[in-house]
Amino acid sequence: MTETGLRERKKQRMYQVLSDTAVRLFMERGFDAVSVAEVAAAAEVSKPTLFRYFPAKEDLVLHRIADHEDEAARVAAEGPDPLTALRRHFLAGLERHDPVTGLNDHPEVLAFHRLLYGTPALAARVYAYQERSEAALADALGGDLDARLAAGQIIAVQRVLALENWRRIAGGERAEDVQEDAVAAAGRAFEQLARGLPRLAGTGWGSGPRPGAE
């Protein structure tokens, strides 16, 4: 491996160590009760070093879901059409109990979700993250007003489905008991999207090029 590759791996490990250390402390004591200086000390780095990796305290938590920010845009481009691809991807996530779908009852995942949605500062950052995810999807769908309207609907549907799954599991239900309802709800939701957005559902493309097509 090249020196550049080694540096990049070391950098990525540091991101992970800092984020994992912070999330552990936040879940134990609460986001507002833990200072950035305490996170740095626990990770055995200086505070300036921590800020070089994470400019804001909230970023330490959002790092765990940062990889999903452009996921919808990437999946939509895989075809055979955007809504089919996104539906299949969401259903596959439910099948493997991906935490992003809300259908995961592992205690650590539940604790992380409580931290994320129960902390106003973090909830606000999640909203900004969803806006960026929506913008990336809109660009993948063509970037015009119709694409932005469609992206807003799709991201909202995925968010509501995930929150409903998380709400039920946080209320004491097991993921395996929620799964059948979650799959059915996702199917209905994407059917409604297909009816409202036929241009993205394969049969309603018309004679023009498909968004994202060369």
pLDDT given for residue 20 in this prediction: 96
pLDDT tens per residue, the chain (214 residues)? 576 688 889 999 999 999 999 999 999 999 999 999 999 999 999 999 999 999 999 999 999 888 788 999 999 999 899 999 999 999 999 999 999 999 999 999 999 999 998 999 999 988 888 999 999 999 999 999 999 999 999 999 999 999 999 999 999 999 999 999 999 999 999 999 999 999 999 753 333 344 444 3
d(CA 183, CA 180): 5
Assign residue 35 a region (left: φ > 0; alpha: ψ between -120 and 50; beta: otherwise): beta
What would the two tokens of residue 91 be? 């259903």
What would the two tokens of residue 110 be? 């539940």
In contact, 112 and 27? CB cutoff 8 Å: yes
Assign residue 208 a region (left: φ > 0; alpha: ψ between -120 and 50; beta: otherwise): beta
What would the two tokens of residue 177 be? 């008991």
Judged by DSSP in three states, 179 sits in helix
pLDDT given for residue 1 in this prediction: 58
pLDDT given for residue 210 in this prediction: 42
The structure tokens 């023009």 sit at 208
pTM of the model: 0.83
